[in-house]
A and B are shown apart, each in its own frame.
Chain A
Amino acid sequence: AQKVTQTQTSISVVEKTTVTMDCVYETRDSSYFLFWYKQTASGEIVFLIRQDSYKKENATVGHYSLNFQKPKSSIGLIITATQIEDSAVYFCAMREVITGNTGKLIFGLGTTLQVQP
């Protein structure tokens, strides 16, 4: 069955440091897409970065990067040089690619990141 698990409920870091958030997933598909979103204090859900399962290179966007370990079904989010405004809830999500699949996202429960001065 499809499942996304984020084991870290909350993380607190000092600004300008690097943080890694974990995510593992379960799927029967050989092809799938993985996403990270963040939800700000206002409730807005913002797309951050994605990894296509067929790509070996880890995706990078700005100060976000991914650690994709396909054999371990793991997709970690790395934020470098954290800023106070990075404080938010971070969600990992998966979308399978099978015939007839609608593209719905399966989400983890989220990791709350607090960046302190």
Chain B
Amino acid sequence: NAGVIQTPRHKVTGKGQEATLWCEPISGHSAVFWYRQTIVQGLEFLTYFRNQAPIDDSGMPKERFSAQMPNQSHSTLKIQSTQPQDSAVYLCASRHRGNQDTQYFGPGTRLLVL
């Protein structure tokens, strides 16, 4: 099985532009998580989908960030009007079924906002 796939691997945007990040979970996995990694904050949870339904977005900044999972094979994280402080590595992870299962991470998308 292929692992979690994330595209693009690197993205550079200008301040105020929109960025859309893509994630393809491991086939057969029903849960998708998004995390953000920065030097200062470390790895932080953003949002979570189970069977394509949004379950928990408690980590998402209330403005400018949104996530969707239109089908079981991909999820997107969209950042509108990007700001320099949005620069980070955005990681997607998928999990098979239950809460007891392990999450497996994708390679991440490194976003740089100039």
A interface residues with partner B (beta carbon < 8 Å) = 33, 35, 37, 42-47, 50, 52, 91, 93, 95, 97, 101-110
Contacts and interface: CB of A to CB of B under 8 A. Distances in A.
B24 to A, nearest CB: 16
B22 interface: no
18 contacts: A35-B102, A42-B107, A44-B107, A45-B91, A45-B105, A46-B105, A47-B102, A91-B43, A97-B99, A102-B48, A102-B50, A102-B99, A103-B103, A104-B33, A105-B35, A105-B93, A107-B42, A110-B42
B53 to A, nearest CB: 11
A65 to B, nearest CB: 17
Which bracket fits the contact residues of B?
Answer: 20 to 34
A93 B56 CA distance: 18
A103 B103 CA distance: 9
Contacts of B45: 104-106
Interface of B: 31, 33, 35, 42-45, 48, 50, 55-56, 59, 89, 91, 93, 95, 99-100, 102-105, 107-108, 110
Given A33-B100, A35-B102, A50-B102, A103 B43 contact: no
Contacts of B56: 102, 104
A47 B104 CA distance: 7
A103 B107 contact: no
A42 B107 CA distance: 8
B102 A109 contact: no
Given A43-B89, A109-B42, A110-B42, A103 B99 contact: yes
A33 B101 CA distance: 10
B108 A52 contact: no
Contacts of A45: 91, 105, 108
Contact of A101 (B33, B93, B99): B99
Contact of B55 (A35, A46, A91, A102): A102
A97 B35 CA distance: 19
